[in-house]
Amino acid sequence: MDKIYDQIIKALKTKGAKGAINKQTKFVDMGVDSLDLMDMVIQLEDELSIRIPDDQILSIENIDQLLKIIEKLSK
């Protein structure tokens, strides 16, 4: 999952995420809006050949939650 974590961090930085970033940092606290989050998730879905249901995407608040969903779908 470290590779996926690194991909998320890279994507967040390209979206203009601000401040310290760790697994518990909320996307809203980084200045990432829902559209940026959706774009990032779509990119990850394509790269990892998974599909995250829209209702789950709307409930994601931090990197750790996103990683857990990806881990579950990747099995």
Residue type, position 37, single letter? L
**Phi/psi at 26 (5° precision):** -75, 140
pLDDT at 16: 87
How many C-alpha atoms does 16 have within 13 Å on its Cβ side?
7
10-residue mean pLDDT profile of the chain (75 residues): values are: 87 88 94 90 92 91 95 87
Q: Per CATH, which fold does 2-74 belong to? A: 1.10.1200
Domain ranges for the chain, please list them: 2-74
**Model pLDDT, residue 75:** 78
pTM of the predicted model, to two decimals? Answer: 0.87
Residue with tokens 């998320």: 8
